[in-house]
Amino acid sequence: MSNITERDYKNALKDGFDFDDFKSVDQKRAIECIMTGEKNILISLATQAGKSLCYQLISSFQRDGIILVIAPSISLITNQIAYLTEMRIPATSITSVAPLSNREEKIKEFYDYKNVPYKFLFITPEMLIRGSYKVRDLIEFLLEENQISHIAVDEAHMIVDYNNNFRDSFKELGQVRKKYSEIPWIALTTASNVILNKIARILCMIRPQIIRGPSTRKNIFYDVMQSRNESFVDFKSIIKDMIELNEEEEFFTTRKVYASGIIYCKTNHNADHIAHNLCENGITSESFYGAKRDVNDIQKRWKEGQFPVLVATEESFGLGIKRNPLQFVLHMSMPKNLRAFYQQSGRIDVENGYSRIYVNKFYNGDVSPEMLAFINIKDCRHKHIAEYFGDEILENCGNKCDNCVKNQ
């Protein structure tokens, strides 16, 4: 597949995904590397760099063959399938949320067809490694029948993050890779070379091709706001700079069109309190956490742009949930580490995005050393993140973080 021309790529991007070109030189390099048929590939690109396209585009160049995508969360899988379906690319999943009868029907469907009518099959590592014997038999069957052309591991840093705790199914992916070493494996993430090497070791990849792009997100303004007041918190003043990113008066009315954003906080009670307070100040917002009965509806309405601000607990609002456009992210609670902060603020997908951490006195001892360092640095915050991910180029952003603006 290596003799694909520029024109072929352009056609595939346009016909399959309605894109005019690659998003960046690094996305192009990653895709070209995959299309050479290379067996072990590690890809590290920034959030929103378009990592998914790296494996999605394979489907435009092959008639047969399923791309098996191992992804860590159901919301990520649901999102991916919805997107591929919208692009008219047949994709399905086998997950624990589907009723058993549904899952069995899906499995039967795979056995019944000579050539399965799907281009993508999504699965969690748990389902692949510890799922029912019927699921594991099916994957084994597809692999042995050469029906699976590629295996992609999304959010591959989790292989390392979860190496020693309850998600150790990730760790066992190496055994599957070893057994089916003829199939190209592609692991995707944002990570330093140290982490990439650990991923390679756990996946038993020998001399993998590594495609790295910079991790910096210069379209996002980072700042840290320290609380001045011990007890009274004026939420509107904390998000003022952000909601006004998009402020404009509608013709003949005085209604303001506020920017869209996510506010992360610690507890359900905090989420309710902040959302209520913002509504009282004329900024329509809703709280979002697992225990709420109508979470799916809230998420749907927010994604459709029916209201601008979602106030969510960190656990409830994770990987895979996206809204376009997303203009700001505010952390009212401390992210658990710098990767979580980078990932959560990285949902921003506009040219002039805004990410703020509000630091209050309640944090005291429960802040990770990584976050403490990030909050307290006096130097460029973008440079600090680039260093964390082991980027080659480390330079000050100039005017895209509070410290650089102060130091000007």
DSSP type of residue 362? G
Listed ranges 45-53, 95-103, 120-128, 298-306: which one lies at the site for ligand ATP (CB under 6 A):
45-53
Interface segment toward ligand ATP; rule CB under 6 A; list 34-42, 44-52, 157-165, 263-271: 44-52
In whole angstroms, the minimum distance from the beta carbon of 18 to ligand ATP comes to 9
E-strand ranges in 258-371 read 261-265, 285-288, 309-313, 328-331, 353-359
Question: Is 239 an interacting residue with respect to ligand ATP (CB under 6 A)?
Answer: no
Q: What residues pair up with 93 in beta bridges, in sequence order?
A: 122
| Candidate list 4, 8, 10, 19; residue touching ligand ATP; CB under 6 A | 19
305-364 positions binding ligand ATP, by CB under 6 A = 346
Cross-strand bridge partners of residue 354: 221, 328
How many H-runs (helices) and E-runs (strands) does the chain carry?
17, 13
Output the smallest distance, CB 349 to ligand ATP, in A. Answer: 6
- DSSP 8-state class, residue 147: -
Side chain identity at 74, as an amino acid letter? I
Q: Which residues contact 31 (CB under 8 A, 6 or more apart)?
A: 9, 22, 53, 54, 57
Nearer to ligand ATP, 54 or 274 (CB): 54
Task: Give the residue with the Cβ less far from ligand ATP, 45 or 310.
Answer: 45
Residue 344 and residue 9: Cα distance in Å, rounded?
31
Residue 180 is a binding residue for ligand ATP (CB under 6 A):
no
Q: Are 375 and 394 in contact (CB under 8 A)?
A: no
Query: Could you say whether residue 48 binds ligand ATP (CB under 6 A)?
Result: yes
Asked if 22 interacts with ligand ATP (CB under 6 A), we say yes
**Per CB under 6 A, 23 contacts ligand ATP:** yes
Binding-site size, ligand ATP (CB under 6 A): 13
User: Nearer to ligand ATP by C-beta: 131 or 335?
Assistant: 335
CB of 93 to ligand ATP, least distance (A): 17
- Contact (Cβ atoms closer than 8 angstroms) between residue 157 and residue 167: no
Least Cβ distance, residue 310 to ligand ATP (angstroms): 17
Kindly tell me which residue out of 53, 70, 152, 263 binds ligand ATP, with binding defined by CB under 6 A.
53
Reduced DSSP (H G I as helix, E B as strand, rest coil) percent helix, strand, coil of the chain, to 5? 40, 15, 45
Instruction: HSE, CB side, 13 Å, CA atoms: give it for residue 296.
Output: 3
Query: CB of 371 within 8 A of CB of 377?
Result: no
Interface residue with ligand ATP among 40, 52, 316, 403 (CB under 6 A) is 52
Interacting span for ligand ATP (CB under 6 A) from 3-11, 47-55, 275-283, 373-381? 47-55
Q: Please report, as ranges, the residues that interact with ligand ATP according to CB under 6 A.
A: 13, 19, 22-23, 45, 47-53, 346
